[in-house]
Structure 1
Amino acid sequence: MKPLIILLSVFAISLLVTKIFLDNYEFALSGRIAMSVMLVFTAIAHFAFTKGMTMMIPDFIPYKTETVYLTGIIEIAAAIGLFISSFRVITAWLLIVFFILLLPANIYAAIKHIDYQKGTFNGNGLAYLWFRIPLQILFIFWTYLSTIKG
């Protein structure tokens, strides 16, 4: 829920700021700014809640802690890449693939009732997926519309 609030809040603020300073609503730019801020926010969680994030990764995957750190670094790199014109489109496509690849970890976490912030098995469970799956789809379309299409 927090990433969605950040995404929408930053988008609204960015739209307002671009209207004031550029005398035009810059939807694509505001969308990229919002996505980048959201990515940095979620990347911080990879370092702040590493234990809980490692619990989201199935046991058959090795190097869980390193994977969590790597995905946090990927999110930061993507946040930057969305603003480098020569990398913008490839960054967006890779980010879309990244969002698709994250979905199994979220499904696994829901099945196991993982609360990644507390590092416990007291999470929301499968009900969480009714929110998380549409959220992942929103992130995918948001990235496409604000970067590839925009």
Structure 2
Amino acid sequence: MKPLIVLLGVFTACLMIVKLTRGTYEIALSARVALSAMLVFTAIGHFFFTKGMALMIPQQVPYKIEIVYITGVLEIFMAVGLLLENYRVLTAWVLIAFLLVVLPANIHGALKNVNYQNASLDGNSWKYLWFRIPLQLFFIGWTYFAVLRK
């Protein structure tokens, strides 16, 4: 829920700032800035809630902590790439693939009742799961419309 709030809040703020400074609404720019801000926000979670996020990764996958750190760094790189003209399209495709690849970890975490902030198994699995899957699809759609749609 928090990433969605960041995405929509930054989008709205950026839309208004651009309108005030440039005299026009630049929806795609505002959407990319918002997506970048959301990625930085979620990346920070990878470094503050590493143990909890590692619990979301299936047991048979090795190097869980390293994967959490690497995906956090990758999110920061994607946040920057979305704002760079020459890398925007490639970054969007990488982000869509990333969102699809991490979805099983989100599902696994929900089924195991992972509370990633406390690194415990007392989370709200079904509430989270039913929200997270459509949210992930929403982020994919947002990426498509903000960057790839011409």
TM-score by length of 2: 0.98
Task: Spell out, residue by residue over 1:88-132, the C-alpha distance to the aligned partner (whole angstroms, 9 max, x if none).
Answer: 000000100000111100000010000000000000012311100
CA distance, structure 2, for counterparts of residue 125 and residue 17 of structure 1: 38
The alpha carbon displacement at 1:137 in A equals: 0.5
Q: Which amino acid aligns with 1:146?
A: A
Specify every segment of 5 or more residues in structure 2 that has no aligned partner in the other structure, as ranges: none
Q: For residue 113 of structure 2, what is the aligned residue in structure 1? A: 113
User: Aligned runs of 1:16-55 on 2, under 5 Å?
Assistant: 16-55=16-55
Q: For residue 125 of structure 1, what is the aligned residue in structure 2? A: 125
Percent of aligned positions that are identical: 55
CA distance, structure 1, for counterparts of residue 36 and residue 96 of structure 2: 13
TM-score by length of 1: 0.98
Q: For residue 80 of structure 1, what is the aligned residue in structure 2? A: 80
Q: For residue 12 of structure 1, what is the aligned residue in structure 2? A: 12
Q: Which amino acid aligns with 1:32?
A: R
Q: Which amino acid aligns with 2:148?
A: I
Between Structure 1 and Structure 2, how many residues are aligned?
150
SS of the residue aligned with 1:100?
helix
Aligned Cα root-mean-square deviation (Å): 0.7
